[in-house]
Structure formats: C-alpha cells, structure tokens
C-alpha cells in the first residue's frame, strides 16, 4: 500500500475537488456565486498560509523575487478572479458535474496556448487526446441540450464553464513563467491566492458590497459552512494532495488521476442533486477522461 501513496494521493485530489465543487454549488445556490468566490479565497489564504508556515517557516513568501510575484500574481488574477467568476456562476446554473466536465478542457486549452505562445510542441498522441476529449464533451453537452431545449440557463452555464476553463488554462500558462528553478509550488499557490484575494476584495470595497457579503454569511449559516468546507477541500486539501502526488509518481499518471472529478461527480450529482442523465452522458464523460489521459500519457 505504501508504494502506491502517490497514486492514492492523486485519486484523493480528484475526490477532494469533486466534493469541494459540490460544496461550492450548494453554497452558491444559497448565498450567490460572487459571495462564495470572495469568501472562499479568504479561507483558502488562511489555510494555505498556515500550511506554508508549518512547512516552510513563513506565513507569506515575501522573499520570492518580484518577477515571480508578477507572473504568479497575474496568474491568480486571470485564473482565480476572472476564471472563477465564470466557474461559480456555472456551478449554480448547470451543477458541478457538467461544470467540472467543461473544466476538463483546461489542460487542453493550456496545451494549445503553450503551443502557440511558448513554442511547445504537440505530439500526434496529444492531438488525438485533444480530439477525443472534445468528442466526449460534445457528446455530453448535446445530450444535455436535448433534455433542456427550452432552458436558457443550460446554454449560459455551458458557456460560463468554458470561460472558467479558459481562465484556469491561461492562469496556468502565466504561472509557468513564475515557477522556474526550485521555487516551492506551495509558495506559488499562496502567491496566486493572496493576489487574487487582495484584488477581488479591493473591488468589493469599491463597489460597496463588503457589508452585503458579510451579511449574507451571517444570515445563511449553511451557505457559510458549505463555503468553508469547499475552501478547505479544494484549494487546500486538493492542491496539497496533488503536490504530494507529483513528488511521488510520474507527471502523466498524476495529472490523469487528478483529472477524474467528472467521473466521481456522476454518482454525487445523481444522488445528492437528483440530476438525471442517460448512458450517453456517462459514456461521453468516460470518453472525455480517456482523452485527458491520452493528453498526459501518450
């Protein structure tokens, strides 16, 4: 069992993100997606700062070079502020299963952006994986569209999920410029979270919505609890487990096993959110995940 700790950590990452997205969906439907995004960033910074202090000896990596702060800060703004605004709206409109399926496009979009802007190459196997993922997602989306022909929220939710994937992918590409050398990924994640939190709460104060945000938490205790749980499971536990996995198994294996939330969310969405879907949605999801696996393993 000890020899498979890396693989188990990667699977734990997928499970953490699956349950975390469920928590964020439940919270967003109670207190609104914007409130959830603002509050979960604060909790994420608290959890990560504590972990950073316990493992690296400082609450915040102020000793990082300014260039790292620039690139990682931009990554946080694009991925965690802009991208996650779309993501949390999608959670509310189409639920965690379809939203996380759309988010599985993020590594594909990141690979294409790296190919265009960073001169990285794509192998024939990776191109096959991209096409396979697109086919699987297209299958699921078209089946859902057939079941929701008069539901405008479905189309908006799909587009918002795509916007979230683009934001996350662009954030990852930007982060790559700040991750060179032996810099700790824990520090990098904290810089991204901290920058995003400062910007988002600055905007919140200027918009006069800080009091409204805190009042929403006081009024709806369940919404606050779900937001806290989601912040703990996603940005803290999920990211920490993914880093542990990357240290112990090959990048391709870790990336594939951490990309499985759409699979885990099939039973979660069925039993918790009472979502009904056909075998086509299940087959399409598995096909899309096979494409993600091919992207990393081939």
- Residue 192: name the closest of 208, 177, 175, 168 by CA: 175
Which pLDDT value is given to residue 118? 75
**pLDDT in the model for residue 123:** 84
> Tell me, what DSSP letter sits at residue 298?
-
Q: How large a percentage of the chain has pLDDT more than 90?
A: 58
For residues 117-133, give the mean pLDDT: 86
Pair of tokens at residue 213: 């945000």
| Per-residue pLDDT, 150 | 54
pTM to 2 decimal places: 0.91
Tell me the chain's radius of gyration from C-alpha atoms.
19
pLDDT recorded at residue 146: 56
Q: Where are the domains of the chain?
A: 2-297
Nearest to 108 by CA among 245, 259, 262, 267: 259
- Segment 56-76 mean pLDDT: 93
What's the distance, CA 245 to chain centroid? Answer: 17
pLDDT-derived band at 72 (thresholds 50, 70, 90) equals very high
- The pLDDT assigned to 145 comes to 59
Q: Note the pLDDT tens digit of each residue in 143-156.
A: 775 555 557 789 99
Kindly tell me if the per-residue pLDDT of 254 is higher than 90: no
Confidence category of residue 158, pLDDT binned at 50, 70, 90: very high
> Could you give the residue ranges of the DSSP H alpha helices within the chain?
5-31, 33-56, 66-76, 84-103, 106-117, 124-147, 152-176, 185-206, 210-219, 221-231, 239-248, 251-257, 261-271, 279-297
* pLDDT score of 251: 67
Answer yes or no: are the C-beta atoms of 167 and 83 closer than 8 Å. Answer: yes
Nearest in space to 233 (alpha carbons), one of 4, 38, 53, 24? 24
Query: Mean pLDDT in the chain?
Result: 89
pLDDT at 257: 86
> Rounded CA gap, 203 and 224, in Å?
21
Per-residue pLDDT tens over the stretch 20-52: 999 999 999 999 999 999 999 999 999 999 999
pLDDT (0 to 100) of residue 22: 95
Task: Check whether 113 has a pLDDT greater than 60.
Answer: yes
Measure the CA–CA gap between 99 and 198, rounded to whole angstroms.
Answer: 26
Q: What is the pLDDT of residues 265-285, one digit of tens each?
A: 999 988 888 888 888 899 999
- Judged against a pLDDT cut of 90, whether residue 91 lies above it is answered with yes
- Judge contact between 216 and 223, C-beta under 8 A: yes
The mean pLDDT of 218-246, rounded to a whole number, is 89
Contacts for 227 with CB less than 8 Å, ≥ 6 apart: 23, 24, 27, 31, 35, 36, 39, 40, 43, 217
Can you give the pLDDT at residue 151?
76
**pLDDT value, residue 250:** 77
């Amino acid at each position: 069992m000890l020899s498979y700790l890396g693989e188990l950590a990667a699977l734990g990452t997928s499970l953490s993100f699956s349950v975390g997205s469920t928590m964020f969906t439940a919270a967003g439907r109670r207190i609104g997606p914007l409130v959830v995004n603002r509050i979960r960033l604060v909790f994420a910074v608290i959890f990560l700062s504590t972990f950073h202090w316990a493992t690296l000896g400082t609450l915040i990596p102020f000793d990082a070079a300014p260039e790292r702060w620039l690139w990682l800060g931009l990554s946080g703004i694009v991925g965690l502020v802009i991208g996650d605004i779309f993501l949390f709206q999608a959670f509310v409109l189409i639920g965690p299963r379809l939203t996380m399926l759309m988010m599985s496009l993020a590594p594909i979009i990141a690979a294409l952006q790296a190919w265009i802007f960073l001169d990285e190459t794509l192998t024939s196997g990776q191109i096959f994986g991209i096409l396979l993922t697109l086919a699987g997602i297209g299958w699921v989306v078209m089946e859902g569209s057939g079941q929701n022909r008069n539901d405008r929220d479905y189309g908006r939710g799909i587009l918002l999920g795509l916007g979230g994937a683009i934001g996350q992918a662009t954030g990852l590409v930007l982060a790559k410029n700040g991750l060179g050398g032996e810099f700790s990924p824990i520090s990098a994640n904290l810089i991204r979270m901290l920058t995003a939190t400062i910007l988002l709460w600055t905007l919140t104060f200027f918009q006069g919505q800080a009091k409204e945000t805190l009042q929403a938490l006081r009024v709806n205790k369940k919404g606050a609890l779900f937001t806290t749980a989601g912040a703990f499971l996603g940005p803290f536990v999920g990211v920490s487990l993914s880093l542990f996995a990357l240290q112990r198994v090959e990048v391709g294996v870790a990336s594939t096993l951490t990309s499985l939330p759409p699979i885990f969310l099939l039973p979660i969405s069925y039993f918790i959110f009472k979502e009904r879907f056909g075998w086509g949605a299940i087959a399409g999801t598995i096909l899309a995940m096979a494409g993600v696996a091919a992207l990393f393993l081939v």
